[in-house]
Amino acid sequence: MKVYNTLGRELQELEPRDAGKIGMYVCGATVQSDPHLGHGRSAVVFDVIRRYLEWSGYEVTYVRNVTDVDDKIINAAIDEGVTTSVIVDRAYTAFDEAHRRLGVKPPTIEPWATHHIQEMLDIIGELIETGHAYAVDGDVYFSVRSDLEYGKLSRHDPDDLRSGARIETDERKRDPLDFALWKAAKPGEPSWEAPWGAGRPGWHIECSAMARKYLGDGFDIHAGGHDLIFPHHENEIAQSESATGTSFARYWFHNGMMNLEGEKMSKSTGHVVGLLEALDEYRPTAVRLVYLRTHYRKPLDFSLDAFVDAEAALDRLWGFRRRTPGPVEDAADAAAIERFNAAMENDFDVAGALGVLFDVVREGNRRLDAGEDAGALTAAYDEFVAVLGLGDDAYDGAGLDPEIARLAERFGAAPSDVDGLLEVRDRARAERDWATSDAIRDDLAELGIVVEDTADGSRWHRG
C-alpha cells in the first residue's frame, strides 16, 4: 500500500509500527461554532481511509480529539456574554450531528483536551527540564531554535520566518518564533494549577499529549487538514520529539481545502457554507459523495451542481441494489475486488475506486436485464459501499428513520425498514386490499420515496 507522506513529500510503503495494527490520530473539531463544509470533508476523507484499513484486515485505533479550550472559544464566549461551556456544548452537538448524518464512524477514542491537563503538564515539565522550554511570568514557551530539525514537516526554515508572520509577537520571548505551551491565567478564563502558575494549555500541546497517551511514541498516522501543517503539526512534532527524543508519528496525511469562490472556507473570515444547512438541503450521502469524487489531497471547489449530480449518481447506485434485495451469499467478483484494491492502495484513490463501483453497477444491471446472475457483482457492490460509506441512507434507516418507524408500526412492518413496508404492501395487493396498498404508497411518497410496481413485486427509490 503506497501512501503520500507529507513528512518527506513522497509516496511511501505503509509499514505499521505493530504488525496488523494501525494507530491513527486525526485532529478533530475546535468547538467554537457550527461546522462548515470544509470540516465535513476532513471527517469523511479520514473516515474512508479508516474504513479501508479495517476492511484490509488492520486493527485500527482511531483517535479524534475535541479541542474544548482555545482562544477562539474564549473569544466567542466573551462576544456572546456566556460561559465557554455554553459555546462548547452547542458546537460539539452540531459537529456530532453532522458526523452522524454523514455516516462517519465514531472514533475508537474521543479525548477532550480539558480532560488531559495533567498529560500536558507532564510534557511541558519534560521540555523545561531538558532546556527546550522556559517559563516567563506564568507563561511557558517552547524554544524553537532548540530543535535543530524544526521545519522538517512544513519545510519552513526558522531563519526565513519573519517575526509576526502567523506568530504572536511577545517581547518576553527569547525568540519571536517561540510558541506558547502554557498561558498564564486571566480573569474570566478557564484555568488549571501548574508548577509555573495557574493557566491553560496552548493549542499545540493538547494534541501532543492526547496522541501520546492513547497511541504512544512513534505511532502510525497523524492526519488533518492541509492548513494544519504549519504551525500546528510542525509544532506538535517539535515539542513531542524534543520531550521524548524519539519519533512522534511515522506518516502524516493532509486533506486539501474546501474552497468557496476560489477562497478557502474559514470560520475566522466567515467565508463558509454551513455543513448542517447543506445536509438539510441535500441527501447526506450525496454530500459525502461530493467529497469523495476528488482526491483527498486536492482542493475541492464548492458547487451546487456537484450536489445535484451526486444525488442522481446515488439513484443509479441504489437502483441497482434494489433490484436484488436482501443478503447475497455469492463471493465478491474477484476482478472487481482487485481493481478496487489497486485504486485504494495507490494513496487512497477513492475517485478511482468509485469508478470501479460504477462499473460494477453498469455490468450488474446489464446482466440482470439479460436474465443473468449478478450475485458476485452484487456482493462486490456491498463490499465497496461499506468501505466508502455510500449505503442507501433510507434503506439503512438513517435520515428518514423516525418517519419510517412510525409507518412501520402503523402497518405492522419491521421497524425502520422500507422493504418491510413493501412486503406488507405486496401482501395487501395480493389480497386485493387496495386501501392499505394505496395508503402505504402515498405515505411513502410524502417522505420522498417513490414506489414502483413490477412483475416481480414492488420496488422503491428516492424521488
Looking at residue 399, its pLDDT comes to: 38
| Spatial CB neighbours of 425, under 8 Å, sequence gap ≥ 6 | 436, 437, 440, 441, 451, 458
Q: What is the average pLDDT across 100-113?
A: 95
On whether the CB atoms of residues 35 and 276 are closer than 8 A, the answer is yes
* Residue 406: pLDDT over 90: no
What is the dotted CATH code of the domain comprising 2-112+202-264? Answer: 3.40.50.620
Distance CA 428, CA 276 (A): 39
Q: Please, what is the average pLDDT of the chain?
A: 90
Looking at residue 398, its pLDDT comes to: 35
* Residue 415: pLDDT over 60: no
Among the residue ranges 233-242, 248-257, 361-370, 415-424, the one predicted with the least confidence is: 415-424
Looking at residue 430, its pLDDT comes to: 87
DSSP 8-state class, residue 231 = I
pLDDT band at residue 419 under the 50/70/90 scheme: confident
Q: What is the average pLDDT across 272-282?
A: 91
For residue 379, the Cα-to-chain-centroid distance in whole angstroms is: 26
Looking at residue 443, its pLDDT comes to: 87
On whether the CB atoms of residues 450 and 437 are closer than 8 A, the answer is no
Backbone angles phi, psi at 115, to 5 degrees: -90, 0
Looking at residue 400, its pLDDT comes to: 43
pLDDT band at residue 458 under the 50/70/90 scheme: confident
Buried b (16+ CB within 10 A) or exposed e, 94-114: bbbebbebbbbbebeeebbbb
* Residue 267: pLDDT over 80: no
Q: What is the average pLDDT across 119-129?
A: 98
Reported as a single tens digit per residue, the pLDDT across 153-208 is: 999 988 887 544 555 567 789 999 999 999 999 998 999 999 999 999 999 999 99
Residue with cell 463490499: 383
Its pTM surpasses 0.95 = no
Report percent pLDDT > 90 for the chain. 74
Nearest to 101 by CA among 293, 287, 295: 287
On whether the CB atoms of residues 52 and 386 are closer than 8 A, the answer is no
Q: What is the average pLDDT across 85-95?
A: 96
Name the grid cell of 303: 458547487
**Domain boundary assignment for the chain:** 2-112+202-264, 303-388, 401-462
* Residue 417: pLDDT over 70: no
Residue with cell 447475497: 328
Question: 303-388, which class in CATH?
Answer: mainly alpha
Amino acid letter for position 99: H
Phi-psi region of 177 (alpha: psi -120 to 50; beta: other; left: phi over 0): alpha
Reported as a single tens digit per residue, the pLDDT across 298-351 is: 999 998 999 999 999 998 998 898 888 778 889 999 999 999 999 999 999 999
pLDDT band at residue 396 under the 50/70/90 scheme: very low
pLDDT band at residue 408 under the 50/70/90 scheme: confident
State the greatest distance between any 2 C-alpha atoms of the chain, in Å, as a whole number: 86
* Residue 240: pLDDT over 90: yes
DSSP 8-state class, residue 167 = S
Residue 440 or 296, more confident: 296
